[in-house]
Structure formats: C-alpha cells, structure tokens
C-alpha cells in the first residue's frame, strides 16, 4: 500500500470488524488493521462488538434488529474518531438503515445519527487518505495476478462507493484487473435471502459464477465478507479454482 504516514500525528480510528469478518474471514480484518496503520492511523477495536443487527433488519424482525443495533451503537458511541468498517453492507446499515430502524425514537435515533456521521467503509476511508501514486513499479504483465472486482450492492448503490476500491486495486503493482460481464449485478447473497430463497439466490449466484469463470480471473475480490463467502461457496461447489478474497487482503499484499 502506497502513501505512508502523513506528517500529522496518527489519527485514531475505531475498527468495527463486523461479525462475518470476525468469525469467517479474520484475514480481512487483520489486513484492514495493517492498511490503516500504514495509512497513519492508530487503530482501536471497541470491545464487546457483535453485529450491526442487519440480519434481523433484513428479515423484518425489527424488535430483534433494534436490540442488536442498540448494542452496537452504544459500544461505538463511547468511542471517538472515524468508525472504519470493512463491509459495504454493514456500513450502509449503520449509515442509513439504523436511522429508519429507530424512526420515532428520539433518543436512539439521535445516537444512530451521531454514529452514522462517523461511519465510513474501509476502501472509501483509505482512498481519502492515500493521495500519492504507488511507489512500486508495475511487474511484467505475465507475472501479475488476474483480478476481478465484484462491487457489492450496498457499497455501490447504498453508499455510492464505485471507484475507490478500483483505484486502490489499480495501485497494487502485482495485480492485473480483468473486467466481469454485468459487473454490477447482484451475486444473490442478500443475507437471509440466500437461506430463505435458495432457488432464486442460487440462480443469481450461478450467473455470477459463470461471469467470473468467463473473465479468466485468478482471484475475485469484494469489499463485503458476505459476498466473498457466497462467491467462494458457489465457486467451490462448481469445482472452480478461482480464489475469492476481501479487497483488503489484496491491498495488504497478503493474498496476491
């Protein structure tokens, strides 16, 4: 990762590591810590983190979603500085959805708004801090890893983060980006949707996996652990050799 620490004192940031990263993709969280520290941040991980409540919110269980969201918001409200989230969909939950969740509840909607204003998705945060072009020289094309980027829906359309991950990936000399057909079409994860509507979700996944295989990519990267696990599970079931990683892992140089 290029850029390096700026001259100013390190900025304190809170890493909301998300439940999926914690349990299933800790490498992505570890990579995020490395990236943030090299970008001149002092990383803190607020204790007692569990989940943002999105699984219940998406399934229509508002009481349960509120209980979990209150836990997440209370933990974050006690801290200071930007809340960096290595997930587009959890970031969208905290930035946009919790306000709707607590509509009509003055106290908690105020907390939700205050926390929302501090939340930022990892690549959007990094892109805002890394100003200088990459220091390393590009490797010869033959030795670069063919990489396809899968834009997750909530990152793309919820938060409007379209270019940042691509720009960061383009600065990694060991990667060669390859395009996907219908790149912005959903992979069919959708949280509980993948479990509750297996036929629909499976059909969408199949289209996405076919597009990935046709792209000739060695690696697919996304900014959401949900999509990463969904695509990895789908490609694995098909017997594909394409690896699926979190964008943070590629930026950190660990997976390429």
Partner 1 sequence: MSAPTPFTARVRRAVRDGHLHEAIGRATGQLEARRGAAFASLEQAELVRDRARHARLHALGRLDAMLETFERRLTENGVRVHWARDADEACRIVARLARERGLRRAVKAKSMLSEEIRLNPALEAAGVQVVETDLGEYVVQLADDRPSHIILPILHLTKEDVGRVMERRLAVPFTPRPAELCRVARERLRGDFLAADLGISGANFGVAETGTICLVSNEGNIRMGTTLPRVHVALLGIEKLVPTLADLDAMLKVLARSATGQKITVYTSLIHGPRRTPDEIAPEEVHVVLLDHGRAATLAGEEAEILACIRCGACLNACPVFRAIGGHAYGTVYPGPLGSVLTPALRGLPEWRELPEASSLCGACREVCPVRIDLPRMLLGLRARGVARHGAPLRLRLAMRAFALLATRPRWLRLARRIGGALARRFARDGWLRRAPGLLAGWTAHRDLPAPARRSFDDWWEERRRGRA
Which residues of the shown chain bind partner 1 in the complex (CB under 8 A)? 17, 19, 21-26, 29-30, 33, 45, 47-51, 53, 55-64, 67-68, 70-71, 100, 153-154, 156-158, 184-186, 188-191, 193-207, 229-230, 232-234, 236-237
Q: How far is the CB of 134 from partner 1 (least distance, A)?
A: 27
Closer of 117 and 181 to partner 1 (Cβ): 181
The distance of closest approach from Cβ of residue 5 to partner 1 in the complex, given in angstroms and rounded to an integer, is 18
CB of 173 to partner 1, least distance (A): 27
Q: Are 111 and 44 in contact (CB under 8 A)?
A: no
Residue 12 CB, nearest distance to partner 1 (Å)?
Answer: 15
DSSP designation for 97: I
> Closest Cα to residue 48, out of 20, 68, 27?
68
Q: Residues 10, 79: contact at Cβ < 8 Å?
A: no
Q: What is the DSSP string of 149-213?
A: E---HIIIIIS---SHHHHHHHT-TTEEE-PPSSTTS--S-TTHHHHHSHHHHHHHHHHHHHHHH
Nearer to partner 1, 19 or 171 (CB): 19
Start-to-end Cα distance in the chain? 13
Residue number, 149 or 189, with CB nearest to partner 1: 189
User: Measured from the CB of residue 31, what is the shortest distance to partner 1 in angstroms?
Assistant: 10
Closer residue to partner 1 in complex, CB, 119/244: 244
Q: Which is nearer to partner 1, 144 or 207 (CB)?
A: 207
């Amino acid at each position: 990762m290029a850029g390096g620490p700026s001259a100013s004192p390190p900025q304190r940031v809170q890493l909301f590591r998300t439940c999926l990263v914690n349990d299933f993709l800790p490498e992505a969280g570890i990579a995020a810590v490395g990236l943030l520290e090299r970008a001149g941040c002092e990383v803190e991980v607020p204790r007692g983190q569990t989940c943002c409540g999105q699984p219940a919110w998406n399934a229509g269980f508002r009481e349960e979603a509120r209980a979990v969201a209150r836990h997440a918001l209370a933990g974050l409200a006690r801290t200071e500085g930007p809340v960096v989230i290595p997930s587009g969909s959890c970031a969208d939950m905290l930035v946009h959805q919790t306000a709707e969740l607590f509509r009509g509840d003055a106290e908690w909607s105020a907390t939700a708004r205050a926390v929302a204003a501090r939340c930022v998705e990892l690549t959007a945060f990094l892109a805002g801090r890394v100003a200088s072009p990459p220091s390393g020289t590009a490797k010869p094309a033959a030795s670069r890893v063919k990489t396809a980027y899968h834009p997750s829906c909530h990152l793309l359309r919820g938060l409007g983060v379209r270019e940042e991950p691509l720009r960061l990936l383009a600065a990694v000399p060991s990667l060669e980006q390859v395009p996907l057909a219908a790149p912005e079409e959903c992979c069919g994860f959708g949280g509980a949707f993948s479990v509750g509507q297996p036929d629909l979700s499976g059909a969408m996944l199949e289209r996405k996996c076919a597009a990935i295989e046709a792209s000739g990519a060695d690696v697919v990267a996304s900014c959401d652990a949900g999509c990463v696990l969904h695509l990895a599970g789908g490609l694995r079931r098909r017997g594909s050799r394409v690896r699926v990683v979190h964008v943070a892992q590629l930026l950190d140089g660990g997976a390429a």
